[in-house]
Amino acid sequence: MEQRALALNEAFGAADVVARLTGAAATAHGRLVFTTSFGLEDQVLTHFIIAAGLPVEIVTLDTDRLFPEVHALWKETEAHFGARILPFYPRHDAVEGFVSAHGLNGFYTSREARKACCDIRKVEPLGRALAGADIWITGLRADQSAARGGVRFAEAEAARGLIKLSPLLDWSRDRTLAFAKANGVPLNPLHEKGFVSIGCQPCTRAIRPGEHERAGRWWWEDDAAKECGLHVGPDGKLTRAKPASLGASA
């Protein structure tokens, strides 16, 4: 699997987004799954996937704590692209157990409680969404945070038995936003109110001038490498592919 990721990076690391997506899709041995949270990057990737007519399943993780604006954008996105976006929800018994033990907003009390909530509402549903998938497409960008700086186009996810792709890894936020506006891609109105990175409503705030774009996520935790666990391996670190050549895409 590492060799496959290396080959994809060598073949498409310097390509544009469309070539990355179509080239990788041609190597797939099974399901291709794109997980969207309806953020800026995910909306742009939805545009590329639909425009290219790729056989990709588009899914989302509905944590039951999302902003109303996210649900509205979900509906708008399906109508705009003529695509069905399949939801995966947390298990009711797991949510019930967490709330009974920690309270409705118990994730504020400790990092361990917050991670437990993320595991229940995001990580476990993601596992079901990716079951049997061969390729997982994500909207990660390398400059979103210091922890994501080493992200590569293709990475081997041995624990899940698949290849993870980040076709927008070398795009800046400004470039992504400009593309979205130029192509009429539906966007969350919260972005205009300072909500740059949007997760669950209780765990997201607008960022202040000069703050990094992910500073509004779990803002009460003093850690630059804050992650929910979707892109984190068993060692607690972001999953990484072995180094491979990567040029600048068009």
Q: Which residues are catalytic?
A: 228
Q: Are 60 and 83 spatial neighbours (Cβ–Cβ below 8 Å)?
A: no
Packing angle, helices 40-52 and 173-182, rounded to 10: 50
118 assigned ligand-binding residue: yes
60 assigned ligand-binding residue: no
In whole angstroms, give the CA distance from residue 140 to residue 134: 18
- Would you list the DSSP string of 27-78? T-SSEEEEE--S-HHHHHHHHHHHHHT--EEEEEE--S---HHHHHHHHHHH
117 assigned ligand-binding residue: yes
Q: Give kind and range of the element (H or E) at residue 12.
A: helix 2-12
Dihedral of alpha carbons 12, 5, 170, 196, sign: positive
| CB-based contacts of 226, cutoff 8 Å, min separation 6 | 145, 147, 214, 217, 218
24 assigned ligand-binding residue: no
Distance of CA 184 to the CA centre of its chain: 21
In whole angstroms, give the CA distance from residue 38 to residue 71: 9
Q: What Rg do the C-alpha atoms of the chain give, in angstroms?
A: 17
In whole angstroms, give the CA distance from residue 107 to residue 118: 9
Distance of CA 155 to the CA centre of its chain: 14
Q: Cite the annotated binding site by residue number.
A: 117-118, 200, 203
